[in-house]
């Protein structure tokens, strides 16, 4: 076991040096991977949760809850980037590999932990997705932590009369956590939570709560998650594509890159898609790729976690 874990740590280190060319040797879970440097906290909390006896799903939920709590960083959750009217509307989803179950919420206001709300939808309703007022009502009915959003109504009305940019707050940094897990049984789990693209119109829903776009889990293959400009990721079902490419035998790294190549090839925006992906497979291999920026993400095993960066995917040379 120790030798296997040492190999895993060595693999993480090697991958950090040459992420796009060196496939990681396969090893069994637990393994977690998350978007952005703040994802390291989610990975660490998730692995601790599993080490303490929690399931992979618990690991995903707890890891993301921590990032939602830390949203004072301007990342995810109620302290994340507000919409064009100046208040946050949150999106989240969660998927449980073993029974291919899923829960999702979109455009929810004033709920501190949308990832937990998504899990409640999955486990305590007959539905997969709830939005807006209905999602908030369900959250309150299930005792979830909330804050008063009564001031939002006035903001909504004044926003309608303004030019779009007049009300738009500044966008800083990135604001989506996607967190994927492979547990010690080889089962796969994933979650995603965001305050969404900065300056979004009230009511806009991004890729993050859309199964197959911001997140997809298939317990016989692996999982993928996304961050970036949701409009572009949604139009290409990015995470679903990556899982399907892995099903065909691709390494997660190659699958993430291939998804970006395919998206760019079929899109007038080309490599300016602002799409970033992470993925892991059932063999414990992982990868990440981004269309037009360096992309830092976090990966970890019980022996440690680290932030790794991949460069933007280079455009594929044209066939002559």
SS3 38: coil
Q: In what order do the strands lie in the sheet with 129-131?
A: 129-131, 101-108, 90-96, 188-194, 176-182, 31-35, 295-301, 304-310
224 touches ligand SD4 (CB under 6 A)? no
Q: How far is the CB of 126 from ligand SD4 (least distance, A)?
A: 27
Residues contacting residue 225 through CB under 8 Å, at least 6 positions apart: 35, 178, 179, 180, 190, 192, 214, 215, 216, 239, 277, 278, 279
Per CB under 6 A, does 208 bind ligand SD4? yes
> Is residue 80 close enough to count as binding ligand SD4 by CB under 6 A?
no
Site for ligand SD4 in 167-206 (CB under 6 A): 174-176, 194, 196-197, 206
Binders of ligand SD4 in range 92-111 (CB under 6 A): none
Stretch that binds ligand SD4, among 52-60, 225-233, 235-243, 278-286 (CB under 6 A): 225-233
What is the β-pairing status of strands 188-194 and 215-218?
unpaired
Query: 298 near 179, Cβ under 8 Å?
Result: no
Residue 229 interacts with ligand SD4 (CB under 6 A): yes or no = yes
Which one of 108-116, 222-230, 249-257, 310-318 is the stretch in contact with ligand SD4 (CB under 6 A)? 222-230
C-alpha–C-alpha distance, residues 313 and 293, integer Å: 8
Question: Binding to ligand SD4 by residue 83, rule CB under 6 A?
Answer: no
Cβ-based neighbours of 166, under 8 Å, separated by 6 or more? none
Is 176 among the catalytic positions? yes
Compute the least distance from the CB of residue 262 to ligand SD4, in Å. 19
- Catalytic sites, residue numbers: 176
Contacting positions for ligand SD4 (CB under 6 A)? 174-176, 194, 196-197, 206-208, 227-230
């Amino acid at each position: 076991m120790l030798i296997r874990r040492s190999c895993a740590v060595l693999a993480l280190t090697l991958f950090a040096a040459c992420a796009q060319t060196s496939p990681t040797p396969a090893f069994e879970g637990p393994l977690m991977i998350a978007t952005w440097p703040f994802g390291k906290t989610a990975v660490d909390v998730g692995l601790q949760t599993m080490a303490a006896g929690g399931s992979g799903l618990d690991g995903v939920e707890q890891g993301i809850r921590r990032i939602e709590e830390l949203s004072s960083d301007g990342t995810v959750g109620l302290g994340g980037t507000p919409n064009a009217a100046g208040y946050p509307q949150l999106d989240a989803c969660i998927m449980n590999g073993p029974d291919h179950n899923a829960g999702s919420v979109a455009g929810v206001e004033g709920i501190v932990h949308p990832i937990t709300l998504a899990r409640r939808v999955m486990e305590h309703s007959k539905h997969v997705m709830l939005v807006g007022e209905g999602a908030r009502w369900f959250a309150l009915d299930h005792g979830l932590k909330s804050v008063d959003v009564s001031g939002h109504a006035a903001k909504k009305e004044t926003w309608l009369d303004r030019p779009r940019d007049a009300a738009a707050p500044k966008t800083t940094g990135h604001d989506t956590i996607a967190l994927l897990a492979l547990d010690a049984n080889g089962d796969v789990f994933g979650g995603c939570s965001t305050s969404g693209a900065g300056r979004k119109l009230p009511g806009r829903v991004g890729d993050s709560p859309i199964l197959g776009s911001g997140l997809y889990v298939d317990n016989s293959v692996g999982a993928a998650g996304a961050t970036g400009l949701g409009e572009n990721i949604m139009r290409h079902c990015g995470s679903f594509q990556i899982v399907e490419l892995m099903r065909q035998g691709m390494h997660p790294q190659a699958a993430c890159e291939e998804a970006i190549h395919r998206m760019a090839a079929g899109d007038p925006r080309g490599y300016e898609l602002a799409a970033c992906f992470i993925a892991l497979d059932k063999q414990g291999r992982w990868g990440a790729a981004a269309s037009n920026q360096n992309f830092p993400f976090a990966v970890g095993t019980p022996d440690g976690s680290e932030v790794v960066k991949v460069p933007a995917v280079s455009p594929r040379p044209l066939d002559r």
